[in-house]
Amino acid sequence: MKIEVLGTVQDGGVPHMDCSCRVCEEARQDCSKQRYVHAVMLKENDDENSIRYLIGASPDIRNQIKGEFLDGVFVSDDHLGDITGLLFLGESSMDASGVPVYCAEGVKDFIMKNDPYRYMVDRGNIETEVVDEGEEVEVQGGHVEPREVIHRGDYADALSFMIHGEDKKLYYVSDLDKWTEDAIESVKEADIAIVDGCFWTKEELDRFEEVPHPPIKESMETFSDVDTEIYFTHMNHTNPVLLEDSDERKEMEEKGFQIVERGMEFEI
C-alpha cells in the first residue's frame, strides 16, 4: 500500500486570509508556493483502478483528487480542514454515489443535524459509517485502525489513524491538542508517523490557548529517543519551518525530523 501526501498545512491553507507574512505573500505571487490543507490518500498503486481512500476532506479537495471515484473517506473531526471537502461530493459538484465516510459518532451526529451534509446522506452521495477506537476497517493491502485523541477538550473527541500495511505501520495524527500517553505510544509503535506540527512554539500565536497544538519544539523533545521516522504536517502559515532557509527548519532537520511535502509517497 502507498500513502500519498495531498496537503500539508493548517485548515486555513497557504496563503492564509488576512495575512501578509512572507509565506503567504510569496504564495500569492507564485502559485507553486501555495500549500493545500492537510490530507493523505491511501492507494494500492498508481493504476487507474487502484483502491483510493482519502483521510481528511479538506476545502482543497477539488485540487487534491484526480479521477472520478473514491472508495471511502476517513474523517478525524468536524472542523474546517477535515469535513468541508465532503460538500464537493454532493449534487453541485462530483455528485458521488454512496461514498462511505468513516467517522466517530460525534461527527455522524454533526452530519445528520446539519444541511447540506444531511441532504447528501438523504440523496445517497455519502453513507456515514461510525468507527470506534481500535476497530479495523479492511482495505485492499491492509487495514486502518482509528485511535482516539484529544482535540478541543479534556476528553477523546477526535480520531487518528494507524494504517497497517503488509510490511510497515504508518500512524497519521494530523490534529490534536496535546500528546497523551496513548498517542505517544502509537507514534512509538509505528515505523513512520505523520504528526501535528501546527506551531513551532507556543509564542507563535497570540491566541494559542484558543487553538492549542503540541509545538514542534516540544514534540521533538518528546520523541528525541524514538526510532520512528517522524514527519510533521498541519503547519500553520506562521510556522517558520515552512521556510526552507529558516534557522528553525535547519534545527528540525538536524535533529532528524522532517515536514511532509505534497506529492510525497510512503510505501508500507
| pLDDT higher than 80, residue 65 | yes
Q: What is the pLDDT of residue 194?
A: 98
Can you say whether the dihedral through the CA atoms of 46, 37, 104, 147 is positive or negative?
A: positive
Which bin fits 101, alpha (ψ -120 to 50), beta or left (φ > 0)? beta
Q: What is the pLDDT of residue 238?
A: 96
Is the pTM higher than 0.85? The answer reads: yes
Q: What is the pLDDT of residue 57?
A: 97
| pLDDT higher than 90, residue 88 | yes
Q: What is the mean pLDDT of residues 47-53?
A: 83
Residue reference for cell 472508495 = 71
Read off the pLDDT of residues 8-36 as tens digits, 9 standing for 90 and up: 999 999 999 999 999 999 999 999 999 99
Q: What is the largest CA-CA distance in the chain?
A: 52
| pLDDT higher than 80, residue 223 | yes
Q: What is the pLDDT of residue 154?
A: 52
Assess contact for 59 and 85: CB atoms under 8 A.
yes
Query: If we measure between CA atoms, which residue out of 178, 161, 157, 5 comes closest to residue 78?
Result: 157
Separation of alpha carbons 254 and 246, rounded Å:
13
Give the number of domains in the chain. 1
Q: What CATH number has the domain bearing residue 251?
A: 3.60.15.10
50 or 123, greater pLDDT: 123
Assess contact for 54 and 73: CB atoms under 8 A.
yes
**Helix, coil or strand: residue 245:** coil
Q: What is the mean pLDDT of residues 56-64?
A: 95
Q: What is the mean pLDDT of residues 232-246?
A: 97
Q: What is the pLDDT of residue 105?
A: 94
Range of the domain at 229: 2-267
Read off the pLDDT of residues 133-166 as tens digits, 9 standing for 90 and up: 989 999 988 999 999 998 776 545 799 999 999 9
Q: What is the pLDDT of residue 67?
A: 78
Read off the pLDDT of residues 164-183 as tens digits, 9 standing for 90 and up: 999 999 999 999 999 999 99
Q: What is the pLDDT of residue 265?
A: 97
Q: What is the pLDDT of residue 211?
A: 84
